[in-house]
Amino acid sequence: MHNDSTEQSKPNRLTTYIVISMLLGIIVGYFIHTNASPEFIKDFSPKIKLLASIFLRLVQMIIAPLVFATLVVGIAKLGDLKAVGRVGGKAMIWFVSASLISLTLGLILVTITKPGVGVNIANADLEGARDLMGKTKEFSLDKFVEHVFPRSVIEAMANNEILQLVIFSIFFGVALTAIGKKGENIINALDSLTHVVLKMVSYVMKLAPLGVFGAMSGVIALKGLGILKTYAYYIGSFYVGLAVLWMILLFVGYLILKKRLVVLLKRLSNPMAIAFNTASSEAVFPKLVEEMERFGCNNKIVSFTLPLGYSFNLDGSMIYMTFASMFIAQAYNITAITGSISTQIAMLLVFMLTSKGIAGVPRASLVVVLATGSMFGIPPEGIGLVLAIDTFCDMGRSMTNVLGNALATAAVSKWEGELKS
């Protein structure tokens, strides 16, 4: 921590570059949308988005080894099963409470604002909805157990299935702790691997502004700023929901962290800017590990709690699931859902289950909405209504996922007496 001022200036500089890239992306995208031919736009948009794809793929390349190494080392450093159970228990109390609050908040706000009433169903993106339908199999309840428990750790790593990786890492970490001295070399090796991967993170993050520029200019060139006007009420209602959720999270954060909450938010400025602009909370997982340790959280708590959080604590995605589902139900006037509180509560509880382990990648929560919604009679093509502007909602929910996981990790560190000032 001796070079803290330099450490702090670097994230701020990167955040500045990201904001500049975002604004440039909007300007370039809007210029192309208004001046270029439809053929050129159709060709330009996917090609410029490749910059974002390259950045996201490089981050995803790092996630599996980082989750495995940090979680195993975290469990080994906690020292015994009692400590693992205690820290895991505290983390799960936070995760379950935050998930329930987020899901309920989404349900209440969409019921009050009613953004789906009177929406023109002809606006639905049916082609995009069909693409997503092909992905729903893995989220059906029949496949739930398969989705949680890995058949092969290599397969889980290859597919970046974070929840499966967490299950394997917990077993591996507990076994490693149980064999005592014989496991020390492996623990040291994995500790070194964590440092190597975090060094790779610093290289990859230098490409974040390019990824942001590609994502932003691609979506604006294709959709134009007009799409925001069409769905202004829907997007506005959702962001009001996010603002209320932030107030709740920050209030609880202040009760636990007091004045240190401001320091944490400064540390999070860079990860949250990247999450917002790439619409992916997974994109900042490696950077978040680094920033939480710099904030003063003990690395054994960070190593254990953050990977769990990415499987169980995606607050922004949670609030969106009930919000988007009810929006579609309102648009299609499905009174069996909109008029029945018991059905809404049942849907909320099913979301609580089916959402666990969703990846923090773009549109993953829409896949869960599609799979779970169909169980309650929500038409699959209804997802096409929200597809057009999903990127803009995904930005907010990804940033919220990052905030929720950072607060959870800081809170558990404080409760364990492991937070350095």
pLDDT tens, residue by residue, 51-86: 888 887 887 788 888 888 888 888 887 777 788 888
Give the residue with greater pLDDT, 19 vs 99: 99
Q: For the chain, what are the domain ranges? A: 4-415
Long-range Cβ contact pairs of 60-64 (< 8 A, separation 24 or more): 60/160, 60/282, 60/361, 62/197, 62/200, 62/201, 62/204, 62/286, 63/160, 63/162, 63/282, 63/285, 63/286, 64/156, 64/157, 64/158, 64/160, 64/165
Give the pLDDT confidence score for residue 78 in this predicted structure: 78
Q: Which CA distances in Å does 338 have to 22, 101, 147, 347, 390?
A: 38, 20, 30, 11, 22
Most confident of 121-130, 142-151, 379-388, 406-415: 406-415
pLDDT (tens digit per residue) in 275-325:
888 877 877 888 898 899 899 998 888 888 888 888 788 899 899 989 999
What stretches of 71-159 adopt beta strand conformation (E)?
A: none
pLDDT for residue 264 is more than 80: yes
Mean pLDDT score, 210-230: 80
Mean pLDDT score, 320-346: 87
Residues 384/124, Cβ–Cβ less than 8 Å: yes
Give the pLDDT confidence score for residue 214 in this predicted structure: 87
pLDDT for residue 118 is more than 80: no
pLDDT for residue 231 is more than 90: no
According to CATH, what is the number of the domain 4-415?
Answer: 1.10.3860.10
What stretches of 314-397 adopt beta strand conformation (E)?
A: none
pLDDT for residue 100 is more than 90: yes
Mean pLDDT score, 353-367: 64
In the chain, what's the furthest Cα-to-Cα distance? Answer: 68
pLDDT for residue 106 is more than 90: yes
Give the pLDDT confidence score for residue 304 in this predicted structure: 84
pLDDT for residue 132 is more than 80: no
Mean pLDDT score, 123-139: 56
Mean pLDDT score, 90-119: 90
Quick one: residue 149, left, alpha or beta (phi over 0 = left, psi -120 to 50 = alpha)? beta
Give the pLDDT confidence score for residue 245 in this predicted structure: 96
Instruction: Name the average pLDDT for the chain.
Output: 82
pLDDT for residue 134 is more than 60: no
Give the pLDDT confidence score for residue 216 in this predicted structure: 82
Give the pLDDT confidence score for residue 2 in this predicted structure: 37
All residues at 6 or more sequence positions from 322 whose CB lies less than 8 Å from its CB, including other chains: 103, 104, 106, 107, 110, 344, 347, 348, 351
pTM for the whole thing? Answer: 0.78
